[in-house]
Structure 1
Amino acid sequence: MAEKILTMKLLKEKYGVCRLDKTELIPKWAQSCQFFSITRTSDELSIVCSEDNIPSDIKCEKDWRALKVEGPLDFSLVGILASISTILAQKGISIFVISTYDTDYILVKNKDIDNAISSLSDEKYEIIY
């Protein structure tokens, strides 16, 4: 059997990607999740967190699943995201990526997650649950 390229872990929860006004304070509901990401730019405040925590009046896109690239990854590694995104793009699967100091998280719509896992597995990525 060929050696696996990387191991990825499917996180259990479903996530939402939220857009708030650039001047808003970081809300408490976003910070109470096990996994969340907050980015402020000159245009917006973007929050990714468990969809169960998102109030109904918040502009968001729900029903995302997350594949965590098991790390930590060395900063000198090249092409990890390019490889994953190419495999998924060839299957018509769009992604939303969050990168941290140690690793990357690939968010895929729940309707596409089985196809994404199958496609990555076919290309020698190991997926754990």
Structure 2
Amino acid sequence: MIMSNVVLTMKLLNESFAVCRLEASEPIPEWASYGSFFSITKTAEELSIVCPQENVPGGIKCEPGWRILKVEGPLDFSLIGILSSISSVLAGSGISIFAISTYDTDYILIKDEKTNKAIEVLSANGYNIISE
């Protein structure tokens, strides 16, 4: 089913998050799994961690200052174009994203300084934005 005439609700999570990069050979650090949201992805090239910014110890390669908009779900796997629609709306206003998908929904990371603009743009394009 192509996403059309579907009003999506997105929830702004309270915390600030960091996107970290470790070497693929490193074990998953304990600090990575603290908090109500974290994402850990391991590939042959890297260990990528998204977690609350306050969890990240010094000396870790990371990009701090991200906020998360959670697409309220669960979303049916037959829906097509959710991330495409959101990213197109934001790209049209010069806002880049870092997206994470789970079984039930999608999470859109936006740099902290662009959050208010992103909420404004998404709201103007028919998305319902709520706060945690």
Q: 2:98 aligns with which of 86, 96, 99?
A: 96
Cα deviation, 1:15-60, whole Å, max 9, x if unaligned, reads 0000000000000001112100000001000000000000011000
Counterpart AA for 1:45: L
- Which ranges of structure 2 fall in alignment gaps of 5 or more residues? none
Q: Who is 1:10 aligned against?
A: 12
1:115 is paired with a residue whose SS is: helix
Matched, 1:28 2:30: yes
Q: Which amino acid aligns with 1:32?
A: Y
What's the CA shift string for 1:77-129, capped at 9, x where partnerless? 00000000000000000100000000000000000000000000000100001
SS of residue paired to 1:55: coil
Alpha carbons of structure 1 residues 60 and 52: separation in structure 2 relative to 1, 3 Å: same
Q: TM-score, normalised by structure 1?
A: 0.96
Distance, in Å, in 2 between the alignment partners of 1:26 and 1:35 is 15
Cα distance in 2 between the residues matched to 1:28 and 1:42:
21
Cα distance change on mapping 1:62 and 1:50 into 2, 3 Å: same
CA distance in 1, matches of 2:24, 2:71: 30
The letter for the 2-side match of 1:21 is E
Runs of 4+ in 1 over 3 A off after TM superposition: none
Aligned mate of 2:109, from 88, 92, 107? 107
CA RMSD of aligned residues (A): 1.0
Q: CA-to-partner distance for each residue in 1:55-75, whole Å, 9 max, x for gaps? A: 011000000000000000000
TM-score normalised per structure 2? 0.94
